[in-house]
């Protein structure tokens, strides 16, 4: 796979995750506050969320986007 193909695939994965975040009732209003990237073949999510319950929604939503690779949840809970 070429670098360009890898970059295109990564952009599609991130866009799929963003779409799922927007579709989730608990995460919708916070989706724009979260940074989603791919680093060393892992999904990395950074940002701040107000509660542990909302933060707990992240991984299942990312999995619903079809992501089976490692997910690093670096989101801080700032209650």
* 29 CB neighbour count, 10 Å cutoff: 11
CATH number at residue 52: 3.30.1340
Confidence of residue 13 (pLDDT cuts 50, 70, 90): very high
pLDDT of residue 46: 97
| pTM of the predicted structure, to 2 decimals | 0.89
Domain count, the chain: 1
Helix (H, G, I), strand (E, B) or coil at 46: strand
Provide the domain limits for residue 7: 3-77
Rounded Cα distance between 4 and 10, Å, is 10
The mean predicted confidence, pLDDT, of the chain is 93
Rounded Cα distance between 39 and 27, Å, is 22
46-63: pLDDT as tens digits: 999 999 999 999 999 999
SS3 content of the chain, % helix, strand, coil (to 5): 50, 25, 25
Whether the per-residue pLDDT at 33 is higher than 90: the answer is: yes
């Amino acid at each position: 796979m070429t670098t360009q193909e890898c970059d295109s695939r990564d952009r599609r994965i991130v866009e799929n995750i963003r779409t799922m975040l927007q579709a989730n009732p608990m995460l919708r209003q916070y989706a724009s506050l979260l940074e989603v990237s791919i680093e060393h073949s892992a999904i990395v999510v950074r940002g701040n969320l107000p509660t542990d319950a909302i933060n707990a929604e992240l991984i299942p939503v990312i999995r619903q986007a079809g992501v089976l690779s490692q997910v690093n949840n670096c989101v801080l809970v700032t209650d």
